[in-house]
Each structure stands twice: as C-alpha cells, then as structure tokens.
Amino acid sequence: MVDKYDPETGEVKGEDGNPSFPAIFSIEAARKLIMERHSSGLDADDPLLMMVTLHEGFMGDYEAMLTRHNQAITTVIGSAISGLTEKALSDHLENQVRLADRIEQEFIRQYTRARILSAINIVAGLICIPVLVFLFLK
C-alpha cells in the first residue's frame, strides 16, 4: 500500500483515498490471543473488542501524525542544509573573487614599479656611459 501525504489537510491517505490504518492488532488476532493465554473466548460483540477497534484507530492516527511530522522535518532540515550549503558556497566564491581582485591590483602595482625602475636604470645608464667615456678619454 502506498500512502500519499496531502500537505493542505495534513492527512496521509492510502491508494483508495481513505486514511490508511495499518492492521496492527486485528479483532480476530485479539480474540485468538485471549483464547491462547487465558483459555477464555470472547463473543464478537464483547466490549473488550471495542478497545481493539479504538486502539487500531488511535494507532492509525498516530502513524499518520508521525508520517506528517517526518515529512515536515525532512523538508525543513533539507531546505536548511541546502540553504547553508548555497550560502556558504556563495560566500566562498565572493571571497575568492575579492582575493583575485586584490592579487590583480598588487600585480599591476608591482609591474608599474618594475617599469619605473627599469626606466630609471636606462636613464642612469645613458647618463653614466657618456660621463665614463669622457673621464677615460681625458
């Protein structure tokens, strides 16, 4: 039997559309058990058997409630975990983008410094070479 959960009503229903009550302890099973243990038979209209019927109903309701709660808890926890995972991944990616931007800015700054120092070295070489040639020729 496949149970179907109706989120609007909160009911769990079987394939036939009626609430599913599992046969936990049937009336015949109750009569047989009492006969085996107490050597006493019960009539079909015995009030004690009404308790078995009530017990089946309560257990069916309890099982349906547990199924609803299990589905609700699974949904809530699943969405919380996926939300945390998506948020953590999003935060991590944002941090990686910021880090990449900082590295790019640092690279550009170092490259600019290297170009300036290279230009200074070229200018210094252009100044020093004629001065050294002049001093050696004199």
pLDDT in tens, 51-72: 877 777 788 788 888 988 888 8
Which pLDDT value is given to residue 100?
95
Quote the pTM value.
0.40
Q: Provide the pLDDT for residue 1.
A: 44
Q: Residues 73-82: what's their mean pLDDT?
A: 81
In this prediction, residue 105 has a pLDDT band, given cuts at 50, 70 and 90, of very high
CA separation for the pair 15, 3 (Å, rounded): 7
Residues in the chain, total? 138
